[in-house]
Amino acid sequence: MADKDQQQVYPVVREAKNDDVESATVDSKELRKKKRLKCLAYVAAFAVFQTGIILIFVLTIMKIRTPKFRVRSATFESFEVGTPENPSFNLKMDAQLGVKNANFGNYKFHNSTIVFFYDNTPVGEAVVRNTKAGWRSTKKLNVVVDLSSRDLPSNMQLGNDISSGLLTLNTRSRLNGKVQLIFIFKKNKSIDMDCTLTINLAEKALRGISCK
Ligand SMILES: *[C@@H]1O[C@H](CO)[C@@H](O)[C@H](O)[C@H]1NC(C)=O
Ligand SMILES: *[C@@H]1O[C@H](CO)[C@@H](O)[C@H](O)[C@H]1NC(C)=O
């Protein structure tokens, strides 16, 4: 009986063994395939991630932006204005200028001048000293300028402006300099200022600034 039992059991066991081995090899093949796919997916994801990082780097950090140069504010140390019949002005202005640098790197610029105009005639100028605007910041510069109607050709405009109570001046300047990105890449960049200042004569104060 024992013999017979064993003979009957054997094939079953062997069959079971074969099944196991076969399914095991199938399993491990599938597993390896899955692992390979997973690995490929990781590599692809990493490549996409890295490309994204490089793109962001190029599009934001490595991008050269033109700095902006403008008049930020102004006050007056002295303020003398004539009458509509006898128009003139003599003002001493403390102006704060700003160089706004949005780059990931310094903007260094050379000495320059800022000229103030009344009706397209220069009425005063000041020196803008060479310095630099740091990474993503605004460099503030203070200049003192004497504004005088002395050199103006006589015209009706000034009398009209004085009777209206508002004096309008233009400021122009150009800075020549360099943007230096992450200490390595340099690019020459010139920036222009073109602002219009409106002065309220009764308040002896600046009423508005608009820049192109
Ligand atoms: C810039 O101007 C200042 C005086 O305003 C002068 O001392 C300096 O040498 C100038 N720099 C250059 C590079 O010309
Ligand atoms: C940048 O400007 C300076 C003078 O300010 C000049 O010597 C230099 O050649 C310019 N560089 C480029 C790349 O244009």
- How buried is residue 6: exposed, middle or buried, by Cβ count under 10 Å (0-12/13-18/19+)? exposed
Ligand 1 pocket mutation pick from 108, 109, 111 by most atoms within 8 angstroms of CB:
111
- CA pair distance 154, 161, nearest whole angstrom: 13
Last residue of a domain, one of 39, 61, 83: 61
Asked if residue 94 and residue 16 are part of one domain, the reply reads no
Beta bridge partners of 99: 69, 139
Number of domains in the chain: 2
CA of 128 to the centre of ligand 1 (A): 10
Q: Which helix (H) or strand (E) holds 142?
A: strand 137-148
196 pLDDT more than 90: yes
**Ligand 2 nearest-atom number relative to CA 187:** 13
Asked if residue 168 and residue 119 are part of one domain, the reply reads yes
Are the C-beta atoms of residues 167 and 161 closer than 8 Å to each other? yes
Ligand nearest, relative to CA of residue 131: 1
CA of 130 to the centre of ligand 1 (A): 7
Q: Is the beta carbon of 136 within 6 A of some atom in ligand 1?
A: no
Supply the range of the domain harboring residue 165: 68-211
CA of 175 to the centre of ligand 1 (A): 14
CA of 179 to the centre of ligand 2 (A): 12
Last residue of a domain, one of 32, 61, 90: 61
Residue type at 104 in one-letter notation: F
Average pLDDT over residues 206-210: 95
Asked if residue 112 and residue 88 are part of one domain, the reply reads yes
1 pLDDT more than 50: no
Beta bridge partners of 96: 73, 142
Average pLDDT over residues 103-132: 95
Would you place residue 132 in the very low, low, confident or very high pLDDT band (cuts 50, 70, 90)?
very high
pLDDT at 210: 96
107 pLDDT more than 60: yes
Would you place residue 22 in the very low, low, confident or very high pLDDT band (cuts 50, 70, 90)?
low
Q: Which residues contact 113 (CB under 8 A, 6 or more apart)?
A: 125, 126, 127, 128, 173
Last residue of a domain, one of 61, 90, 107: 61
pLDDT at 19: 55
- CA pair distance 85, 99, nearest whole angstrom: 40
Asked if residue 201 and residue 96 are part of one domain, the reply reads yes
- Burial 78-111, CB ≥16 within 10 A → b, else e: ebebeeeeebebebbbebebbbbbbbbbbbbbee
Reported pTM: 0.77
Asked if residue 136 and residue 115 are part of one domain, the reply reads yes
